[in-house]
Structure formats: structure tokens, C-alpha cells
Structure 1
Amino acid sequence: MPHSSYLRYVALGDSQTEGLGDGDDLTGLRGWADRLAERLAAAEPALRYANLAVRGRTAAEVRAGQLAPALALRPDLATVVAGVNDLLRPGFDAAEVAGHMEAMFAELTAAGAHVATLTFPDPGKIIPIARPLRSRALELNARIRAAAARHGVTVAETGGHAVTTDPRLWSADRLHATPLGHERIAAAMADALRLPGSDGTWALPLPPRPVPAGWQAAAAELRWAGTFLGPWLVRRLRGRSSGDGRTAKRPGLLPLGGIPGAPEGRPAAGRP
């Protein structure tokens, strides 16, 4: 049963957990996990927080590179979010990805941590050319839910609400959340964990927005393909990752003041 007081929070994952789209590499990344840490610290000021996530990592890579360091930190709360980088690749195998997720769930819960994860929205509603990936996302979500149920893992159902595919929650690359998107993810996690002051308002839709004309939408798709899809495909063909040579931004447990934009820290770029 989730509770409201944690002292050692460790986040495992890829670029979304690292915080891409919320700040930048120059001023510092914030992200939903940092924002969740702020909410946890409001309930327990003695909280210490580590973020082991690295952009570009697959579920297997998160397990291989982050699980052992996470266990060494002896968390009482761990979030594990991975699988999107797998989902986008030609050889995607939902059972294999979920197997890596379940292995992390099992080891972390056996070590005494409460574990939380989330489900993924339909990628085709965010990136039109990704519509064929809808079945992949649905299968992966179903397998994550089943694995979570077997290990008492909390699941934030961010994949099942229309607001999570609103373009205002996604950066120009359509792969990473905006500051508002990261805030919604953090609020969803807080709600799932039943933190004080949390509720289901994170799932409410944003105010209506103008619908772009057909030619405007087509032009936006072309710009996106040239600016983001092309370079991404080139990296895949070359066997490279955006995370090559990178390490965790916050490998040790630290007080909250180490987070850019947190109450005791310096302001983060793009804070809503």
C-alpha cells in the first residue's frame, strides 16, 4: 500500500526520467522525477533523492546499468520507467521488454523498496506517422500492468487519459514532455502514490485550442521530419544513441536542494 513518507527515492529510466524537455543541459534538467521528489519532500523534508536515468537507454540497458547502483542506495521508493526506446525500434519484443521491467520490479521490491511505474500513451496520437506503433504500446502497457500486479508495484495510468497526448504537453521533438507535461506526469505519480495534496486533476483536459488548417499541419509535419526524424534515423543507422558517453545526472542520494528549480535550488528553465 503506498504511503506518504519516504526518505530515500531513486529514479531509474531513460530521457523522460532524466528530464529532457524540462530545462536544458546548460542550465540543468528538471523533469517529472525531480518534480515528484519536491512533492515527496513536502511530506518528508529529510528526503534524499538520486536520479540514475540516462537518455537513449532501452529497458535492458536500464536494467544492466542502473539496477545494481539503485539497489546499493537502498531506496524505500524507486520509480522504474523504460520501454519507449524499445518500442520505437524495428525488433521490438513486448515480452522481452516487460521481462526486463519485471526483473527490476522483483529485485527492488525484494530489497524493501516500494516501486512505481507508469503506462505509455498511444504514440500515434502524438506523432501521426507512428500510428502503427499503437498495438505495441497497448501490449507493453498490458504486460507492465501484469508484472506490476505480481510484485505490488504502483502504476500511474498516464497512458489511458486523452490529455497525455495533447501536443501542449510535448516538446517540438514529440518524444519528450514539456515542463507542463513533466508536471502532469509528476502529479499522476503523486496521485498513484497517494501523496498528501494529490488528486486526479492531473488528468483533466487543457482548455480548447485553435485547430490548425490542413496546410499548416502538413507544413508542421515536414518541419518535424527534417528537424527531428531525419537525425534520429541517422543515429539509428549508425548504431549511435543520444546517451552515448553520458552518465547519470544525480548518481548519489542528495537533499532536494541539489535540484535545479527546486525550492532551495536555482530556477529551472521553462518552469510553469
Structure 2
Amino acid sequence: MTDMHEDTQTRRAGFWRRVWALFFDSAIVFLPLQILVIVLYAQTNGAVQGTFGFTTNVCQDVPVLPEGMILDPPLSAGFNTFKQCNVGVLGFNMARTLTAGKRTQDGSASTIFELTYSLSPEGQARSAFSTDIPANLLLLAYLVFMEHRTGSTYGKRAVKIRCIDRDNVSQTGLPFRKALIRNLAMWIGFIPALVVWGLVYAESTRSDPSASGLILPLVIAAAISIAWLIWITISVSQKRDPIYDRLAGTAVIRTGPEDPSAQIPPALPSPGG
């Protein structure tokens, strides 16, 4: 039994295989969407924009708010830094933004609160539909669907790994519930950051926004996110199932003629379990 358990551990997919698989899968989903957004951005005068995927930001500082520009919500007094950015792929723009900053000094500590507005291709303020959330939801749907059907995405196939159900290793694909749980559980550590981001956005809609009360929550949320990433990285680097795979009852293994996945037993419980 010990030999079987050790053999299972040696067949766990390592860190870089998982990273490259996610990179390939992101490219498969995002690149066609980015081409679509590039076309829509140009055809709708900036009404459709996106900053997701593999992009470059070209930014320049502007000394003052461009004359005649009307922002919604309007800026309160004290905003004194302005920056315009073009976001795109290979020189083709997907979005254009204006970021206004308000720097405050409290003793030796300096804080800056920023608001970002969408701009048209000509640089005029306008409302725009962001495709960032739909694009990431589509990536999530792709990962869940592929892992449910075959246990492997196109990216995983490229690096010869796949997901297995630890309760039924001979099964092709994961139960839908487990595929959904493992892909959602990856982001548990980022929930505090999302909550704080929501608070920052709510603060930005006030007539006189200030980030002074959100500095500590931002620091805590960032620390939690970093610790979550480190925990997952260490687990995967040591060929152990990361927390999201353990929660889902799944594992990611190497495949190949010399490494048939059908012969892989599920992870054995610890001696005290």
C-alpha cells in the first residue's frame, strides 16, 4: 500500500505543467475574444471595451484635465494627477482610460485615491460596457466544461496532464459538481480583495471620496491573497494536491504511455485519518 501511495505522489503534475496549461487555455479563450473586442471598440466608438487577457498598457501623464471633458461621477476638489492609457494587443486598442488621482499627506504617510474613466478612441469621456467579467466567466465555463467531459483541457493535453476524480480514477472526466468546485475554490483567497475592491468602488461614487479608511483592509486583503498564492505554489511544487483539489476530491496527474492514468489509485488517507 505504501508503494502505491508513493507512486501516486510521483505522478502528480508539477507547478510548471499547471502554469503552462493555464497559459495555453487562457490564450485559447482570450485571444479570439480580444480580436472581437478590438473590432467592437473601433466600430462602437469605444462603447465596448476590455482590459482582459494578454495586453499592453501605453500610458502618459497629462498635466491637467482636458478642457471641456465631462466626467461621471464628477471629480471633487483635490484631484491633481491625471494619466491617459491605451490598452491593446500588438498596437490594436481594446480600451482607452483616464485615471484621476488625489494625493493626500498625513504626516510622513502619503496616500493616493484614484478614479478611472472610460474614453472614446478620440479621448472623450464616455460610458462603456466592460467585457472583462464576461471574458473571465467564459474562461471559467470552458475549464469546467472540458474537465467535466474529458478531465483535460486543450492546455492540459499540450503538457500531458489531466484531472481525475479521486473517488473513481477510471472515470473519464470529472463529475460536474467537482469540476465546478475545484475551479471556483481556486479563488477563495482572493475573496477579501474582491470585497475591499467593492468598498473602494462604493467610495468612489461619493461626492468627496477618500481612501484613508480603506488602507488597512487593502493591506490585509493583499496579504491574504499573497499567502493564498504561496500556499498553492508550495503544495503544487511538492507534488501535493493544493487546497482546491482537496476540497473537490480531485487530483491533477501526468499522463502518457509510460504513465497510464487508469492505473492511478486515489490518494490514501493519512495514518491517523
- TM norm. shorter chain > 0.5: no
Q: Which has the higher strand share?
A: 2
Q: Which has the higher helix share?
A: 1
Could you say which TM-score interval applies, normalised by the shorter chain?
under 0.3
- TM-score normalised by the chain length of structure 2: 0.23
Q: Which has the larger radius of gyration?
A: 2
- TM-score normalised by the chain length of structure 1: 0.23
Task: Work out which structure has the larger RCO, using CA pairs closer than 8 Å and 6 or more positions apart in sequence.
Answer: 1
